[in-house]
Amino acid sequence: MAKISVKQVAIFSILTFVLALPLIAQADGELSWRGAISSRPAGVAGTWEIGGIAFEATAATQLNEEHGALNTGDCAEVKYYVSGGSNIATEIERKSTYMCNTGGGGDDGEHAQVYAVVDSLPAGFPADMTGDWVAGGVTYTADAGTRFEQEHGPFAVGVCIEVEYDNSTGVNVMLAAKTENGYKCGSGGGGGEGPHSQLNGILDSFPAGLIGDWVVAGVTYTADANTRFEQEHGPFFAGACVDVKFETGTTNLIEVSTSNATMCNTVPGTGGGDDEHPEEKFYGLISDVPADPQNGLWLIGGGAFSSTLGTELKEEHGAFAQADANPNTVCAEVEYYQNPAGGQYIATKIGTEELYKCTTSSFTNEVYGTVLSFPPDLYGSWVIAGGVMSDTYNTSVTTNFEQDDGRTFAVGACVKVKYTVQNGVNHVRKIETTSPEHCGGGSEPPSYPGEGKMYATIDSMPPIGSMSLRLGTWVIGGQEYQATDATRFEDEHNQFAPGACVKAKYVVQGGVKYLTKLEAEEAYKCRQTGGAEDEFKAYGYVEAFPGSGTLGSLVGPWQISGVTYQTDANTAFEQEHGFFALGAFVEVEYTTSGAVNTATKIETHVAPHAGTGTFMGTVTGQNDDNGDGWPDWELDGTDIYLTDRVIEFGGGGQPAIGDRVLLNTYRGLDGRLYVTSAGVVQHVFLPLILR
């Protein structure tokens, strides 16, 4: 190839706000569901009914038919998000029939998986792969429905293969066979797990810390520090369907993971001990409560669940009556099984849950907590105590791990976790070790990075003269703030004066709150209830709260971004966007009396820049569509909703109609896209020199 000896200069337009981001809205998080297709539109767009739940497909919905066409009766997995109470499909994929089997034939629950070396092949091989295969000394019968894959070389005697089979009739019917790397069968070098078996079964019991004895389908398996844990299909619970991988010839667990309920289905009345129903967990918004909650059809998350006299009903996080009066406002956790005879979903338990459990993974949270247990290779389930509660967080190969300043991952270590919630499971994007003070281990409550913000009235201010330039001590909403040369002032709405409503943005350094920006606002923004009495609003990060590190009440003093708020029995607590924990981003509505700030409401919210979606477009309209006093936008025909939680506009200032903007967004439970931060796209022309 000839060298380019002449310098070539090209001029490119680049974004000053951000580089290399997509120019369209990204998916704001997905859930998944698997079941048989009972109806579908002629084309892609329209209503699909899959596994008893309706999904709306659009022209943007991707159909994956790698394993066959998506016809009525076929097994399919759908990825979707919830928008305005509807399930919007982003992808529909054909799956093997056994993955949706409900007990009417084929895999009836005795589906298992094993890695073994081929001892002998069918008589007609390779022209005809059906017949008896012997692998690891066991005979498996392949028929016309068996799937074969030769990803790691051709089938041959002595080759390691993975076998999926069904032995419900006493014969090992081969469902699938594929060649594998030799180390999975304990040969071929390269380390690895060695010979192991894999099967699906119902989880009878498991230890609280995950390490110890697990009883699956009546068999006891032992998990140790080397066992991996996965909860991709929901959290562990007694009655769940799980996939266990264990060392062949022992009960030592290599890996245990939750699985789709259809993988464990058994047919009632077929003998073999108690008629055990495989159960699954599902989280969704309640759209309809039957007249008789103990005997009727519930509509939850777009699916229909039948209750019986044996269904346990719990209202720990809200009343069912509220869900009936205001559909799609109450989150429910459903434990259910699928009736093999009729296919309907039978609920064994329905309980109200915190709203964050029903999110569509459209935003990320950051919290601090103490590690109680974690997997040895870091991938799997971590149990972390983050305040008034402990929770399980799932890591994977996409998780970013950081061990800074000589601090290593260990039980008792303080970590910062960035995660999303999907179908009730916390999926970790990043986990890093940090100073113990962030977990309440220091003498003083820690201050978290990030900007605080509040809407409140001015109590007092520095004298405004030609020399002071508004620098000095401001008292706003009963709190002292320091204005410096770096503080920006905006007073277009009215002049700064005692009693005037302002928006104050600040950072805390060394216990001092420094103003980064002070902006005059309309008076109604300091009266959150709409009445004559001032009720202020603030946004910040939880630094300390009652019960931090222990199970306790939420009533008492809270420290949020350097400010102390007192809660009492009248304070409303809402956890729509994650649970209360150290480092959680919250909104506080409060009143002041003397030096006491009394919180009337505290709720979790999406932090600045924490939405998982991005949107770039041209502002074509600005209207207050939802009547909250904040201008909502239309970008190229798409409605985007703003709130006072938009922390900052980019260097171009507040956008006007015709401006091109880049937004960080998340999708709310009402299906709307909300903005956490916005910037006007500006262009700078820079030379690019190619040699």
Q: What is the pLDDT of residues 123-168, one digit of tens each?
A: 999 889 999 999 888 899 998 878 888 877 889 998 888 888 877 7
Q: What is the pLDDT of residue 192?
A: 45
List the single range of 138-142, 293-297, 299-303, 652-656 with lowest mean pLDDT. Answer: 652-656
Q: Residue 189: its pLDDT value, please?
A: 38
Tell me the pairing of strands 212-216 and 196-205: antiparallel
245 φ, ψ to 5°? Answer: -115, 125
pLDDT at 493: 55
The whole model's pTM is what?
Answer: 0.64
Least-confidence region, from 189-193, 277-281, 531-535, 611-615: 189-193
Task: Give the pLDDT band of residue 197 (cuts 50, 70, 90).
Answer: confident
DSSP summary character for residue 322: H
Count other C-beta atoms under 10 Å from residue 304's C-beta. 15
Distance CA(65)–CA(434), nearest Å, equals: 46
Copy the structure tokens of residue 260. Answer: 């789709």
- For the cut 90, the answer to whether the pLDDT of residue 684 exceeds it is no
Q: Is the pLDDT of residue 293 over 90?
A: yes
pLDDT band at 12 (very low <50, low <70, confident <90, very high): very low
Domain boundaries in the chain? 1-25+611-691, 31-95, 111-261, 280-353, 365-439, 452-604
Task: Kindly report the backbone phi and psi dihedral angles of residue 241, in degrees, each rounded to the nearest multiple of 5, phi listed first.
Answer: -85, 130
Three-state DSSP at 639 gives strand
* Answer CATH for 111-261 from 1.25.40.340, 3.40.718.10, 2.40.50.320, 3.40.50.261: 2.40.50.320
Task: Yes or no: say if 103 and 265 are a contact pair by the CB < 8 Å rule.
Answer: yes
Confidence (pLDDT) at 26: 33
Which of 540, 545, 542 lies closest to 566 in space, CA to CA?
545
What does the alpha-carbon distance between residue 264 and residue 276 come to, in Å, rounded to a whole number?
A: 10
What does R_g of the chain's alpha carbons equal in angstroms? 29
Q: Distance between CA 380 and CA 224 in Å, rounded? A: 13
Give pLDDT, residue 193.
53
CB 331 within 8 A of CB 285: yes
Condensed to tens digits (0 to 9), the pLDDT of residues 252-292 reads: 898 888 887 767 764 333 333 344 566 778 888 898 999 99
Query: Does residue 629 carry a pLDDT above 70?
Result: no
465 and 472 Cβ atoms separated by less than 8 Å: no
CATH 2.40.50.320 is right for the domain spanning 452-604? yes
Statement: residue 533 has pLDDT above 80: no
Q: Contact at 8 Å (CB) between 670 and 84? A: yes
pLDDT of residue 646 exceeding 60:
no
CB 514 within 8 A of CB 479: no
pLDDT of residue 141: 93
Place of tokens 């916390």: 426
Q: Is 50 exceeded by the pLDDT of residue 19?
A: no
Q: Given this chain, do its domains 31-95 and 365-439 carry the same CATH topology?
A: yes
- Show the tokens assigned to 305: 């669940």
Q: How far apart are CA 450 and CA 298, in angstroms?
A: 43
Q: What CATH number is given for 31-95 in this structure?
A: 2.40.50.320
Checking phi first, is residue 652 left (phi over 0); if not, alpha (psi -120 to 50) or beta? alpha
Tell me the C-alpha distance between 431 and 403, whole Å: 9
Q: Does 2.40.50 match the CATH number of domain 1-25+611-691?
A: yes
Burial of 411: CB neighbours in 10 Å, binned 0-12, 13-18, 19+ = exposed
Tell me the two tokens of residue 679: 């910037």
Question: Mean pLDDT, to the nearest integer, of 23-51?
Answer: 72
Question: Which three-class secondary structure state does DSSP give residue 294?
Answer: coil
Helix (H, G, I), strand (E, B) or coil at 566: strand
User: Which whole number is the average pLDDT over 83-97?
Assistant: 78
d(CA 633, CA 653): 15
Whole-angstrom distance, CA of residue 164 vs CA of residue 174: 6
DSSP assignment of 255-291: EEEE--GGGG---TTS-SSS-PPPBEEEEEEEEE--S
pLDDT given at position 464: 67
Q: Find the mean pLDDT for residues 492-519.
A: 84
Percent over 90 (pLDDT), the chain:
16
Q: What is the mean pLDDT of residues 362-371?
A: 86
CATH code, residues 365-439: 2.40.50.320
Instruction: Return the structure tokens found at 60.
Output: 């943007």
For the record, the structure tokens of 586 come out as 């919250």
Percent of all residues in the chain with a pLDDT value above 70, rounded to a whole number: 78
d(CA 558, CA 554): 9
Supply the mean pLDDT for the chain. Answer: 78
List Cβ neighbours of 79 (8 Å cut-off, separation of 6 or more). 30, 31, 32, 89, 90, 91, 92, 93
Residue 454 CA to residue 503 CA, distance in Å, equals 6
Residues 6+ apart with CB under 8 A from 99: 34, 75, 77, 260, 262, 263
Q: What is the pLDDT of residue 618?
A: 87
Cα separation, 150 vs 179, in Å, equals: 5
Higher pLDDT, 67 or 48: 48
User: What gap in Å lies between CA 307 and CA 332, rounded to an integer?
Assistant: 14
Q: Are 419 and 364 in contact (CB under 8 A)?
A: yes
Q: How far is it, in rounded angstroms, from Cα 263 to Cα 339?
A: 14
* Confidence band of 584 (pLDDT split at 50, 70, 90): confident
- C-beta contacts of 121-127 below 8 A and 24+ residues apart: 121/155, 121/156, 121/157, 125/155, 126/154, 126/155
pLDDT in tens, 93-124: 988 766 675 433 333 345 677 788 899 999 99
- Phi, psi of 457, deg, nearest 5: -95, 155
Residue 570 burial (CB count, 10 A): 10
What pLDDT, on a 0 to 100 scale, did the predictor assign at position 243? 87
Residue 163 falls in which region: left (phi positive, over 0), alpha (psi -120 to 50) or beta: beta
pLDDT tens per residue across span 667-681: 877 777 888 888 787
- The whole-number average pLDDT for the span 482-497 is 82
Start-to-end C-alpha separation, the chain: 14
Token representation of residue 121 = 């092949």
- How many angstroms separate the Cα of 463 from the Cα of each of 281, 483, 490, 501, 503? 62, 12, 17, 18, 19
Q: Residue type for 636, please?
A: D
Burial of 113: CB neighbours in 10 Å, binned 0-12, 13-18, 19+: middle
* 472 has pLDDT over 80: yes
Q: For residues 226 and 184, is the Cβ–Cβ distance under 8 A?
A: no
Checking if the pLDDT of 84 tops 80, the result is no
DSSP string, 435-491: -GGGGT-SSSPPPPSS-EEEEEEEEE-----TTTTT-EEEEETTEEEEE-TT-EEE-
Does residue 428 register a pLDDT over 50? yes
* Average of per-residue pLDDT across 506-512: 86
Q: 280-353 in CATH: which number?
A: 2.40.50.320
Quick one: average pLDDT of 620-646?
70
The whole-angstrom separation of Cα 474 and Cα 519 is 13
Q: What is the pLDDT of residue 667?
A: 80
Give dist(CA 481, CA 506) in Å, integer.
8
Residues 380-400 have a mean pLDDT of 82
